[in-house]
Chain A
Amino acid sequence: MSLKITNLHAGLPDREILKGLNLEVKPGEVHAIMGPNGSGKSTLSKVMAGHDDYAVTSGEVMLDDINLLELSVDARARAGLFLAFQYPHEIPGVSNANFLRAAKKARLPEGEEIDAIKFYKEMYARMDALEMDRSFTSRSVNEGFSGGEKKRNEILQLMMLEPKYAVLDETDSGLDIDALKIVARGVNAMRSPDRGFLLITHYQRLLDYIQPDFVHVLMDGKIVHSGGRELALELEAKGYDWLKEEELATA
């Protein structure tokens, strides 16, 4: 059981972005991915989720024993993959509550309905945990939300949908210190022996609040270095250049 990426090659029709990436996230683990701008972190998350801008040329992505690459975007999501977007989309006219309800309903067997009272109770509890005002239930999804509010809303969705594996793409960027703590608390509350996390981030600071079990460095479409929590501190201090040199040396 794990979210397992094996030798993944993927990219745009005319340009390979992921160049043989290997990574395994087991339930209960939190992995962090760091890496320079443009190295392919968001691409990795979108390829896993099935965005059709990208084509997979070889390799495998397995969610437990399900071959994700064979599934449509929605089937991957229902299989248990959640992606907190770096840039969450706005959905005009669709209230947050209706959206969450539709997403939850999509996970029920055909014809079954959401228990509305239970749903609102759960949503309010989750929103309270994220210190989100109740007015966000009736506002259109992400429309007019500040950058930080959007990120919080992503975590609200994560909490409501309870995926097996969650990929968080730069959820910390755009958050002020207090919001960062609140979001981290939300994520930590969702940590469980049954759930794996992949955090994409540029900053060690997030990892102070959500302590990862492993830290990986993604450069030029590959994981070039892996370590424990201390690697994040080292990267913060030294940047990425030393890894480039290291890679050159081993090449």
Chain B
Amino acid sequence: MVIENTDISGITADTTGNFTFPERNKYDSGFGITEKTVDYISDVKGDPDWIREFRKKALKIFLDKPMPTHWATKDLENIKFDEFRYYLSDGQKPKRSWDDVPEDVKKTFDRLGIPEQERKFLAGVEAQYDSEAAYSNIKAAVAEQGVIFVNSTEGLKEHPEIFRKWFGKVIPTGDNKFSALNSAVFSGGSFIYVPPGVKVKHPLQAYFRINSEQFGQFERTLIIADEGSEVMYMEGCTAPKFETATLHSAVVELVAMKGAKIQYVTVQNWSSNVFNLVTKRGIAHEDAVVKWIDCNIGSRLTMKYPGVIMKGKRARGEVISIALANSGQHQDTGAKMVHAADDTTSNVISKSISIGEGRSTYRGLVHIPKHLKGCKNNTECDALLINSKSRTDTYPAISVRGNQHATQHEASVSQVSADQIFYLMQRGLTEAEAMSLSVNGFINDLAKEFPMEYSVELKRLIDLEMEGSVG
């Protein structure tokens, strides 16, 4: 692995993230996961007892639960849990100023363009490096409104009265094997609380960076938007490409109280050795909105089905997702919409792109029970195939009981034909540019849902993927 030591001045963001620095970990939990690992993490973090217990219970559930290979890909069996390290950190507290962040770490985030984005358009940033946040800051004006934006450890220690009320409530530990794993060894991630009526104008952003080899990152995020408040949270992630596998397994819980609105934007660009197994769910109370905007590029296997439980009347849940699977990648994504009150509305728009031998799978679940009325769901899933080896599968499951609801489901599969590429190339575009333009055309209507800075970023990531795919 190349050890980078270059001066970052004048470097535009390296969004591939394919670079690494030497490890300088004071704390290393070692390989494998046992009760000792959990104790080690709890000791290092100085967890309160209830968290230590929470972790241990979770560990047991994780070890007991089989891999979900009865419905999911057999590739999961290639995850060797003994070959990962579950906690790595340099033992430093997150810094409030980039100047105080250790040099290598600062260079990493500089190179990824984070401080620059922070200056330009963010209300706050948390930058996680392996297991812990290296930098965490919120603009004074936003903090003065009472907004809390800290990492999960700080959240559970400093704000237990809010944290404890919701932590693990949206996604129970035993939801699935990986939510249990996360619950056992979680570290980092964000805790956000937005007080009633506060509308956070600019997005809060977290960036999750994996630097070390044979490592698993398990951040845990909990966002609570109190009544009538609004917040947009954005997360980005990258890791270097190692020969060995990397594991990323996050749990994200959102709570939108009455009339609140949470938008959660993800632009992930994992290298192709990452198993990315993430559980994300939100609860929307009366008149609240939870919207997931999820863009999955890269990784060896991504399994992620953001969900919304519409618990209060007129609540709204949305999942807008874009997944791009290049050769050697499998994007297994979708959405889970649970209607639990009258007049709730859900909207799922999923676009997947499969290139070369890349594989995309859509899994959707829409649940509307019989006793409700006036619920609406719209599901659209479109797949784009670039070259005949690509593969796409759709598993929509819409269980609608009763007849007082309106649901609509559309699915399409289209091809970027050789003739379309020929046409574009005849106008002077390279093959990569032609593919990139075709893909951008396909997701065009969804890219508009992203904040401007992120849709530019998205376009750039697609360009890079296409360059890589034509070699």
Contacts and interface: CB of A to CB of B under 8 A. Distances in A.
Interface of A: 49, 51-52, 72-74, 76-78, 82-83, 85, 88-94, 98-99, 102-103, 106-107, 140, 157, 161
A93 B440 contact: yes
A103 B427 contact: yes
A66 B166 CA distance: 69
A76 B445 CA distance: 32
A92 B438 CA distance: 7
Interface string B421-465: 011111111110110011011111100000000000000000000
Given A88-B423, A89-B419, A106-B433, A161 B428 contact: yes
B444 to A, nearest CB: 4
A66 to B, nearest CB: 14
30 contacts: A52-B418, A72-B425, A72-B430, A73-B425, A73-B426, A74-B425, A74-B428, A74-B429, A74-B430, A74-B431, A74-B433, A76-B426, A77-B428, A82-B426, A85-B426, A89-B417, A89-B423, A91-B441, A92-B441, A93-B440, A93-B442, A94-B441, A94-B444, A98-B437, A99-B427, A106-B428, A106-B429, A106-B430, A106-B433, A161-B427
A106 B427 CA distance: 9
A91 B428 contact: no
A52 B420 CA distance: 13
Contacts, number: 77
Contacts of B442: 92-93
Nearest to A46: B422
Interface of B is mostly: helix
B423 A93 contact: no
Contacts of A72: 425, 430-431
Q: Looking at B414, B417, B428, B431, which has the most chain A CB atoms within 10 Å of its CB? A: B428
Chain B contact residues (Cβ within 8 angstroms of A): what range?
20 to 34
Nearest to B421: A73
Nearest to A79: B428
A28 B429 CA distance: 27
B440 A94 contact: yes
A41 B420 CA distance: 20
B444 A93 contact: yes
B445 A107 contact: no
A90 B428 CA distance: 17
Contacts of A157: 427
A77 B430 CA distance: 10
A93 B412 CA distance: 15
A27 to B, nearest CB: 20
A45 to B, nearest CB: 10
Given A51-B422, A73-B422, A94 B429 contact: no
Given A82-B426, A89-B422, 20 more contacts: A72-B425, A73-B422, A73-B425, A74-B426, A74-B428, A74-B430, A74-B431, A76-B426, A77-B426, A85-B426, A90-B420, A91-B420, A91-B441, A93-B441, A94-B444, A102-B427, A103-B427, A103-B429, A107-B428, A161-B428
Contacts of B434: 74
Contacts of A51: 422
A77 B426 CA distance: 5
Interface in B84-133: none
Q: Looking at A52, A76, A103, which has the most chain B CB atoms within 10 Å of its CB? A: A103
A166 to B, nearest CB: 11
